[in-house]
């Protein structure tokens, strides 16, 4: 072993915050907190979206209500965007570090007993990111390239239109399944990132995370499915 | 029994390395895995070939010197068993076994299956101790430790520093090792004074040594021959977070003093 | 024959160490950083010494052959460590620990050393606890104890079945703290291959970097060897594969006396050997004898499975022969009794080389859970190796070479006869006489490293006369050249047999002739065969590879070459000692009922052998053992 080493604990002059953000534990902490915020959003969002089953009037009223409460919507947007950026940056950086930590891959793949969801966080995360970008263009901004015939103010129409395209149904479907997978690990691992693990509580948390992931994915899937099945129609 | 071995041969850090095929036909089920390799090596030397380099010392599962990957499993497929304690009765005639070194940037390959794990020592150097000198301590029984805490601390202290957790982790993280030491000491009153600074400095050293971060995949705990649990990583996170929250500049370096 | 001065302080036994400490010269704290101490070994003895030197302010260079200091073979100790804390209120005291240890050693150790060991034993427990060693605890939070062979009090502290590991990790952590602080410079994967002696003083070592093959010399003001035991001389032993005598042997060849090499401890509870390819033997902690009962069938060649043999047809021979100590009789006695049973054809398992260690009575009495709590990890280990479950099938055990009481001769200050060369732990001969009691090697290693050498080395340094070691001195160059030449020679032979082949042959000679029971004839046979094997080795060994690289065969070759010399000395010492005592049993010298018969009138001395040159006979120096405080008696564990 070489005797020369990096300096130890907590360099005096550097800001605590940057040391924290730089550390693996800090990044995970940020990832967990922002992940919770994002999770709260996707829960609220799916509940709102499910109103589509109650018909155009109800759904559009809900959309209108959101549009009209500017304070609420912009606060949410800013917080969510910030959370997303922090969350994605932390996740991507952790992934890059992990890659750098094993420059020579195994020639025989590890016979890894870990869950698929835990090993694919970066991919389900990136998928979610790509989905969000596309989804904003599709249903919020109504960019012509993505969504022709977009009508501002008629959220219900736009939604039904979207799922008339089978390509979009598939993409939305895959994405929300990805999100479900992401959360089925994320909702368990965030506790660990916050330093909480307990022989009594961790096993049910692990199960609940999977359950929530699955339920959430199904709830989201039900909307394109509803359109395809004709339950949600113009 | 007969085995087919594919063993990773690499002369040194600069050699790209490759798998080399060996037929091994006198394997007894009572042999340990390393004895099986001993026999192979004796044959190779007899034939004028270079024997396979691999590390081992105690051969009873306690020193942590042995370790390589067998068919994708660090220390082989038997749970809670180092490769020196793995016996051939768990394999079958005709099996194909692929042996690779533990791979991580922090573990440079020395030769064949032998690697340099001194990065783990440097993680300990960053604070994996109680800062006391020989000669001064008070009577051992004046420090009471509940049996539960003591047992849990022992669970964490059982780590043999083999590096299998790093080998198994898709992120090449040594968090189980690091969390084990932070927990071993942090669970005891003796380790309490430096608990938080220790976590801060050891986690930092863990990164500068080039290990990846933990994203709670859990493969490490499955591979750990000493059964260390993910609880110890949670404790590391907790102590680190507490250390960050309560950090005061004057306290800097305390963990390593 | 010259006699040796052990420099034991005068005065009453209980005051000797205090007196020595008061009389020692001290090094000015500001000057400590001007001294460099070389410590070879990072086991309990080496790590505790190196970290303590660092704490005191010395510069320390610390070496080990493993890839990290934490893997020294002390890590393998399972059972426990003794101390005279008397926490159990069962009548223990420093005196009693001292007495048990002297008696356990069959009255062949120095009174003063053993007393000091018992005296500082309590500090060790305090020190280790402060380091965070997770010793077993009672529910109330106090430390727990267990009893161990050779004692009637419960004084053994333990950390599950991993006491050595935990104590070593405690010492290792302290060492790493000093490395971080820059006081200790650590050299793992670096093997000492020679001692550098300049003007009669030990001043340095020649090493080989095991990764790059680089041969290098390190110089300092004193050299401390803590390089462990040489049980691997027998090829099969409970020692780690790398354990060796090379460091001590090279020092011996440079003038340090080798004392009592014939005292070899054969441990009674090891897992029997399974086949030809066996590379080492695994110890099952002696603590198992607390709850396990040892027996063999009464009928020779009884082929029935153990559960088919009724109580009346079993011979619990230790309980029968030694009613007071029963299954807790000291190691040498228990081992020999097992050998006698197997020699009589009563042995069990493959080749009849095994006896049962049976837990069924304890399981009935205490429940499987309690037994599992006490010995769970040992049972798992046994199961992993043999594929049998000790909860349902009695364990099979057989004796194996385990510990070497002999080693380099040292005085009371742990300095060898070569000024500046200190020897600690299993590598010296000091405290265990002819037989070591369980749980006392850990105690000795840590006593030496934490509480003795930090004082006594200061005295040596403070006495002065140490000019700066000169790297260009002819003796330095010569030592380095000799190491290089030897490596070249080993690689150049390119003969027919591998190093292991020779090592196994040597082991067979040793085990057959210089094992548990030795006779004049068997020893003379060994003394003939070993040099012949040695000659063959130097003509016919095959060491592949080259010097300048990671070459594990070359490492082994050097070690086996030294074992081939030690084996002869060990046999000669055994032949010279016409008595039986502790780990040295000469069949000619036994009582009617087969117990060891000491000869105090003629052999109450430590035999310190002096190297006189290649192929020349050793000279025997004697250190008479004077017992002022205890009565020599025949050991009785009946
Ligand atoms: C299986 C087993 C169980 C045991 N159980 C107990 C027990 O329960 N209680 C008890 O009291 N005792 C026990 N013992 C005995 C005890 O563990 C040892 O005697 C003791 O630990 C030896 O410590 P040490 O520091 O002298 O040497 P070791 O721990 O053997 O250390 C030797 C050191 O020297 C280094 N070294 C050796 N040669 C060289 C060289 N040429 N160059 C560089 N470095 C070198 C090694 O790298 C190592 O660091 C047990 C022993 C064994 C084998
Ligand atoms: C099948 C599933 C989904 C449907 C039908 C759906 C539908 C909608 C609709 C109709 C809007 C526009 C609301 C409006 O402009 O008033 C919207 C906005 C949005 N959706 Fe979704 N959504 C789905 C899944 C998701 C998912 C999985 C995410 C996140 C990962 C998400 C994130 C957003 C965001 C960020 C907005 C913009 C909100 C804003 O205006 O600030 N959506 N969604
Ligand atoms: C609505 C969207 C998202 C939600 C609800 C979400 C939720 C979560 C949660 C709860 C965790 C666990 C955090 C922890 O264990 O501490 C997590 C982890 C992770 N997320 Fe997301 N995430 C979302 C989007 C993304 C995106 C866009 C990425 C982009 C790259 C991403 C990448 C990751 C990665 C790599 C991890 C594992 C590493 C880590 O825990 O930091 N996630 N996510
Ligand atoms: S935590 Fe387990 S796998 Fe990792 S080094 Fe320690 S013993 Fe090995
Ligand atoms: S496998 Fe790796 S990601 Fe964490 S839980 Fe173990 S260190
Ligand atoms: S060789 Fe010691 S743990 Fe395997």
Residue C126 in contact with residue C167, Cβ under 8 Å? no
Per CB-CB distance under 8 Å, the chain B contacts of A197 are 230-231, 234-235
Whether A14 shows a pLDDT value over 70: the answer reads no
Distance CA C41, CA C53 (A): 14
Taking an 8 Å cut-off on Cβ atoms, the answer to whether A24 and B197 are in contact is: no
Per CB-CB distance under 8 Å, the chain B contacts of C501 are 42
Distance CA B183, CA B201 (A): 14
Q: Which residues of C578-617 are buried (b: 16+ CB within 10 A; e: fewer)?
A: ebbbbbbbbeebeeeeebbbbeeeebbbbbbbbbeeeeee
Per-residue pLDDT at A13: 55
Mean pLDDT of chain C: 95
Q: Which residue of C has its CA nearest to B62?
A: C76
> Rounded to the nearest whole angstrom, what is the distance from the C-alpha of residue B160 to the centroid of ligand 4?
6
B145 in contact with ligand 6, CB cutoff 6 A? no
Distance (Å) from the alpha carbon of A13 to chain C's nearest alpha carbon: 21
Taking an 8 Å cut-off on Cβ atoms, the answer to whether C180 and A1 are in contact is: no
Q: Which ligand has the minimum distance to the alpha carbon of residue A40?
A: 3
| Averaged pLDDT, C511-530 | 97
Residue B222 to residues A121, A224, B169, Cα–Cα distance (Å) = 19, 40, 10
Chain C contact present for A3, CB below 8 A: yes
User: By mean pLDDT, which of B178-187, C181-190, C268-277, C396-405 is the weakest?
Assistant: C268-277
Span A182-199, pLDDT tens digits? 999 999 999 999 999 999
Find the CB nearest B64 among C71, C129, C381. C71
Q: At C535, is the pLDDT very low, low, confident or very high (cuts 50, 70, 90)?
A: very high
User: Quick count: other Cβ atoms within 10 Å of Cβ C380?
Assistant: 18
> Rounded to the nearest whole angstrom, what is the distance from the C-alpha of residue C71 to the centroid of ligand 6?
9
Span C320-367, pLDDT tens digits? 999 988 998 888 889 999 989 999 999 999 888 999 999 999 999 999
Residue with tokens 């009209």: A68
User: Quick count: other Cβ atoms within 10 Å of Cβ C308?
Assistant: 9
| Averaged pLDDT, C138-144 | 96
Distance (Å) from the alpha carbon of A127 to chain B's nearest alpha carbon: 18
Residue C69 in contact with residue C45, Cβ under 8 Å? no
Residue with tokens 């049972």: C379
From C331, C396, C559, C586, the catalytic residue: C331
B62 in contact with ligand 6, CB cutoff 6 A? yes
Per-residue pLDDT at C638: 75
Cα–chain center distance at C279: 19
Residue C274 in contact with residue C354, Cβ under 8 Å? no
Chain C contact present for B96, CB below 8 A: no
Distance CA C269, CA A26 (A): 50
B167 in contact with ligand 4, CB cutoff 6 A? no
Question: Which residue's C-alpha comes closest to atom 2 of ligand 1?
Answer: C77
Q: At C78, is the pLDDT very low, low, confident or very high (cuts 50, 70, 90)?
A: confident
Span B242-253, pLDDT tens digits? 999 988 765 444
Measured from the CA of A52, which atom of ligand 2 is nearest? 5
Per-residue pLDDT at C195: 98
Residue A205 in contact with residue A188, Cβ under 8 Å? yes
Distance CA B198, CA B208 (A): 15
**Shortest CA distance to B32 belongs to which of C299, C101, B13, B70?**
B70
Whether C82 shows a pLDDT value over 80: the answer reads yes
> What share of chain C in percent tops pLDDT 70?
99
Distance CA C239, CA B35 (A): 16
> Rounded to the nearest whole angstrom, what is the distance from the C-alpha of residue B191 to the centroid of ligand 3?
34
Residue length, chain A?
234
Span B72-89, pLDDT tens digits? 999 999 999 999 999 999
Question: Which residue's C-alpha comes closest to atom 1 of ligand 4?
Answer: B177
**Shortest CA distance to A186 belongs to which of A77, A85, A38?**
A38
Per CB-CB distance under 8 Å, the chain A contacts of B100 are 106-108
Per-residue pLDDT at C637: 72
Whether C603 shows a pLDDT value over 50: the answer reads yes
Query: B232 exposed, middle or buried (CB, 10 Å; 0-12, 13-18, 19+)?
Result: buried
Distance (Å) from the alpha carbon of A79 to chain C's nearest alpha carbon: 44
Per-residue pLDDT at B136: 79
Residues 591-620 of C with CB under 8 A from A: none
> Rounded to the nearest whole angstrom, what is the distance from the C-alpha of residue B103 to the centroid of ligand 4?
15
Taking an 8 Å cut-off on Cβ atoms, the answer to whether C381 and B60 are in contact is: yes
Measured from the CA of B223, which atom of ligand 4 is nearest? 3
Report the SS3 class of residue C35: coil
Residue B144 in contact with residue C142, Cβ under 8 Å? yes
Phi, psi of C271 (to 5 degrees): -75, 125
Q: Which residue of A has its CA nearest to B164?
A: A110
Q: Could you confirm whether C331 is annotated as catalytic?
A: yes
Whether A4 shows a pLDDT value over 60: the answer reads no
Instruction: Report ipTM for this prediction.
Output: 0.95
Distance CA C567, CA C309 (A): 42
Measured from the CA of A80, which atom of ligand 2 is nearest? 35
Taking an 8 Å cut-off on Cβ atoms, the answer to whether C166 and B12 are in contact is: no
Per-residue pLDDT at A7: 40
A159 in contact with ligand 2, CB cutoff 6 A? yes
Cα–chain center distance at C571: 18
Per-residue pLDDT at B249: 64
Per CB-CB distance under 8 Å, the chain A contacts of C182 are 3
DSSP states of A35-52 as a string? HHHHHHHHHHHHHHHHGG
Whether C524 shows a pLDDT value over 90: the answer reads yes
Taking an 8 Å cut-off on Cβ atoms, the answer to whether B77 and A111 are in contact is: yes
Chain C contact present for B85, CB below 8 A: yes
Among A45, A164, A183, the mutation site with the greatest number of ligand 2 atoms within 8 A of its Cβ is A45
Find the CB nearest B234 among A9, A20, A197. A197
Distance CA C370, CA C363 (A): 8
**Phi and psi based region of residue C420 (left: phi greater than 0; alpha: psi -120 to 50; beta: remaining):** left
Q: Which ligand has the minimum distance to the alpha carbon of residue A52?
A: 2
Whether C383 shows a pLDDT value over 80: the answer reads yes
Q: Which residues contact B122 (CB under 8 A, 6 or more apart)?
A: A1, A5, B205, B209
Distance CA C43, CA C502 (A): 28
Per-residue pLDDT at A8: 45
Whether B255 shows a pLDDT value over 80: the answer reads no
Measured over the CA atoms of residue A41, residue A43, residue A46 and residue A51, the dihedral's sign is negative
3-state per-residue secondary structure call for B192-204: HHHHHHHHHHHHH
**Shortest CA distance to C475 belongs to which of C199, C191, C253, C192?**
C199
Distance (Å) from the alpha carbon of C179 to chain A's nearest alpha carbon: 7
Per CB-CB distance under 8 Å, the chain C contacts of A1 are 68, 186, 188
Per-residue pLDDT at B251: 45
Span A142-167, pLDDT tens digits? 999 999 999 999 999 999 999 999 99
Whether C79 shows a pLDDT value over 60: the answer reads yes
Span C427-466, pLDDT tens digits? 999 999 999 998 999 999 999 999 999 999 999 999 988 9
Taking an 8 Å cut-off on Cβ atoms, the answer to whether A29 and B197 are in contact is: no
> Rounded to the nearest whole angstrom, what is the distance from the C-alpha of residue C43 to the centroid of ligand 1?
6
Q: Which residues contact C457 (CB under 8 A, 6 or more apart)?
A: C37, C53, C222, C224, C422
Taking an 8 Å cut-off on Cβ atoms, the answer to whether A5 and C182 are in contact is: no
Per CB-CB distance under 8 Å, the chain C contacts of A3 are 179, 182, 185-186
Q: Which residue of B has its CA nearest to A91?
A: B215
DSSP states of C98-123 as a string? HHHHHHHTTT-S-HHHHHHHHHHHHH
- Which letter does DSSP use for residue A222 in this model? H
Which pTM does this prediction carry?
Answer: 0.95
Question: Which residue's C-alpha comes closest to atom 4 of ligand 4?
Answer: B165
**Shortest CA distance to A110 belongs to which of C579, C214, B168?**
B168
Residue with tokens 């020294």: C72
Residue with tokens 């015939």: A149
Phi, psi of C549 (to 5 degrees): -155, 175
Mean pLDDT of chain B: 95
Per CB-CB distance under 8 Å, the chain C contacts of A8 are 180
HSE on the CB side for C41, CA within 13 Å?
Answer: 33
Chain A contact present for C68, CB below 8 A: yes
Residue C359 to residues A225, B151, C379, Cα–Cα distance (Å) = 65, 24, 11
- Strand pairing category for C293-297 and B3-9: unpaired
Residue A133 to residues A102, A138, A175, A218, Cα–Cα distance (Å) = 31, 9, 12, 22
3-state per-residue secondary structure call for C612-629: CCCCCCCEEEEEECCCCC
């Amino acid at each position: 072993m070489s005797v020369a080493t990096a300096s130890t604990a907590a360099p005096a002059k550097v800001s605590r915050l940057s040391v924290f953000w730089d550390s693996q534990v800090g990044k995970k902490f940020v990832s967990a907190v922002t992940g919770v915020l994002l999770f709260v959003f996707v829960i609220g969002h799916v509940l709102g979206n499910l109103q589509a089953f109650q018909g155009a009037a109800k759904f559009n009223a809900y959309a209108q209500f959101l549009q009209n409460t500017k304070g609420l919507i912009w606060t949410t947007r800013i917080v969510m965007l910030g959370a997303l950026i922090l969350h994605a940056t932390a996740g991507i950086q952790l992934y890059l570090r992990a890659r750098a930590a094993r420059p020579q891959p195994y020639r025989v793949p590890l016979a890894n007993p870990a869950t698929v969801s835990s090993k694919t966080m970066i991919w389900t995360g990136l998928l979610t990111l790509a989905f969000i970008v596309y989804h904003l263009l599709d249903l919020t901004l109504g960019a012509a390239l993505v969504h022709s015939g977009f009508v501002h103010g008629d959220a219900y129409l736009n939604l039904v239109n979207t799922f008339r395209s089978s390509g979009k149904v598939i993409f939305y479907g895959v994405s929300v399944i990805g999100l479900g997978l992401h959360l089925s690990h994320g909702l368990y691992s965030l506790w660990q990132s916050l330093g909480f693990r307990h022989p009594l509580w961790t096993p049910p948390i692990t199960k609940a995370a999977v359950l929530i992931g699955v339920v959430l994915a199904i709830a989201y899937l039900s909307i394109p499915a509803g359109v395809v099945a004709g339950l949600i129609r113009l | 029994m007969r085995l087919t071995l594919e063993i990773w041969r690499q002369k040194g850090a600069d050699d790209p390395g490759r798998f080399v095929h060996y037929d091994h036909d006198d394997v007894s089920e009572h042999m340990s895995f390393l004895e099986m390799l001993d026999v192979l090596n004796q044959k190779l030397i007899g034939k004028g070939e270079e024997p396979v380099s691999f590390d081992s010392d105690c051969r009873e599962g306690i020193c942590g010197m042995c370790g390589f990957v067998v068919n994708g499993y660090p220390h082989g497929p038997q749970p809670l068993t180092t490769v020196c304690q793995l016996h051939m009765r768990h394999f079958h005639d005709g099996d194909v076994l692929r042996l690779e070194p533990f791979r991580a940037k922090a573990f440079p390959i020395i030769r064949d299956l032998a690697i340099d794990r001194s990065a783990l020592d440097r993680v300990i150097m960053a604070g994996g101790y109680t800062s006391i000198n020989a000669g001064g301590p008070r009577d051992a029984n004046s420090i009471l430790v509940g049996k539960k805490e003591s047992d849990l601390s022992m669970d964490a202290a059982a780590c043999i520093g083999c590096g299998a957790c790093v080998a198994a982790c898709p992120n090449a993280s040594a968090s189980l090792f690091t969390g084990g030491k932070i927990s071993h000491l942090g669970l005891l009153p003796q380790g309490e004074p430096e608990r938080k600074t220790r976590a801060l400095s050891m986690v930092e050293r863990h990164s500068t040594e080039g290990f990846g971060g933990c994203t709670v995949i859990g493969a490490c705990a499955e591979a750990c021959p000493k059964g260390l649990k993910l609880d110890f990583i949670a404790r590391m996170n907790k102590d680190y977070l507490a250390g960050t929250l309560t950090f005061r500049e004057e306290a800097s370096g305390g963990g390593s003093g | 024959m010259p006699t040796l001065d052990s420099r034991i302080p005068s005065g009453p036994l209980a005051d000797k160490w205090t007196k020595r400490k008061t009389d020692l010269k001290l090094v000015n704290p500001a000057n400590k950083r001007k001294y460099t101490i070389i410590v070879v070994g990072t086991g309990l003895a080496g790590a505790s010494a190196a970290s303590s030197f660092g704490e005191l302010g010395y510069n320390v260079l610390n070496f080990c052959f493993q890839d990290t200091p934490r893997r020294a073979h002390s890590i393998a100790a399972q059972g426990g460590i003794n101390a005279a804390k008397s926490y159990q209120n069962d009548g223990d005291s420093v005196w009693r620990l001292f007495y048990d240890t002297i008696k356990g050693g069959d009255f062949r150790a120095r009174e003063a050393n053993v007393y000091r060991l018992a005296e500082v034993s309590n500090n060790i427990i305090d020190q280790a606890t402060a380091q965070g060693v997770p010793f077993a605890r009672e529910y109330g939070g106090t430390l727990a104890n267990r009893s161990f062979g050779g004692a009637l009090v419960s004084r053994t502290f333990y950390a599950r079945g991993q006491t050595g590991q935990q104590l070593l990790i405690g010492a290792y952590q302290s060492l790493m703290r000093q490395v971080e602080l820059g006081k200790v410079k650590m050299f793992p994967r670096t093997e000492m291959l020679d001692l550098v002696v300049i003007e009669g003083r030990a001043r340095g070592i020649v090493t080989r970097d095991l990764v790059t093959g680089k041969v290098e010399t390190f110089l300092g003001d004193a050299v401390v060897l803590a390089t462990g035991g040489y049980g691997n001389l027998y090829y099969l032993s409970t020692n780690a594969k790398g354990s060796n005598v090379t460091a001590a042997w090279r020092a011996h060849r440079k003038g340090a006396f080798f004392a009592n090499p014939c005292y070899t401890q054969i441990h009674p509870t090891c897992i029997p050997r399974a086949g030809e390819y066996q590379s080492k033997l695994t110890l099952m902690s002696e603590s198992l004898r607390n709850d396990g009962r040892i027996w063999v069938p009464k009928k020779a060649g009884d082929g029935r499975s153990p559960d088919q043999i009724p109580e009346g047809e079993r011979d619990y021979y230790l309980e029968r022969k030694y009613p007071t100590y029963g299954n807790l009789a000291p190691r040498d006695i228990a081992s020999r009794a097992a050998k006698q049973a197997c020699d009589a054809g009563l042995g069990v398992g493959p080749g009849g080389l095994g006896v049962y260690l049976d837990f069924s009575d304890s399981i009935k009495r205490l429940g499987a859970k309690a037994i599992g709590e006490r010995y769970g990890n040992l049972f798992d280990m046994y199961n992993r190796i043999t594929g049998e479950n000790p909860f349902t099938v009695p364990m099979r055990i057989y004796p194996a070479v385990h510990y070497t009481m002999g080693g380099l001769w040292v005085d009371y200050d742990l300095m060898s006869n070569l000024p500046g060369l200190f020897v600690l732990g299993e590598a010296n001969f000091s405290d265990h006489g002819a037989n070591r009691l369980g749980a006392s090697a850990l105690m000795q290693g840590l006593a030496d490293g934490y509480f003795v050498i930090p004082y006594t080395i200061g005295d040596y340094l403070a006495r002065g006369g140490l000019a700066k070691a000169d790297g260009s001195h002819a003796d330095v160059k010569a030592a380095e050249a000799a190491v290089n030449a030897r490596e070249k020679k080993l690689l150049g032979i390119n003969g027919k047999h591998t190093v292991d082949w020779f090592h196994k042959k040597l082991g067979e000679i040793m085990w057959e002739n210089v094992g548990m029971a030795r006779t004049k004839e068997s020893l003379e046979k060994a003394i003939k065969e070993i040099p012949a094997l040695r000659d063959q080795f130097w003509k016919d060994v095959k060491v592949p590879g080259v010097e300048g690289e990671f070459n594990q065969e070359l490492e082994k070759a050097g070690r086996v070459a030294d074992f081939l010399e030690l084996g002869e000395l060990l046999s000669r010492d055994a032949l010279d000692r016409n008595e039986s005592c502790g780990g040295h049993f000469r069949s000619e010298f036994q009582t009617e009922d087969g117990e060891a018969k000491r000869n105090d009138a003629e052999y109450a001395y430590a035999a310190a052998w002096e190297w006189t040159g290649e192929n020349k006979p050793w000279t025997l120096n004697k250190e008479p053992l004077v017992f002022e405080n205890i009565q020599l008696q025949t050991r009785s564990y009946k």
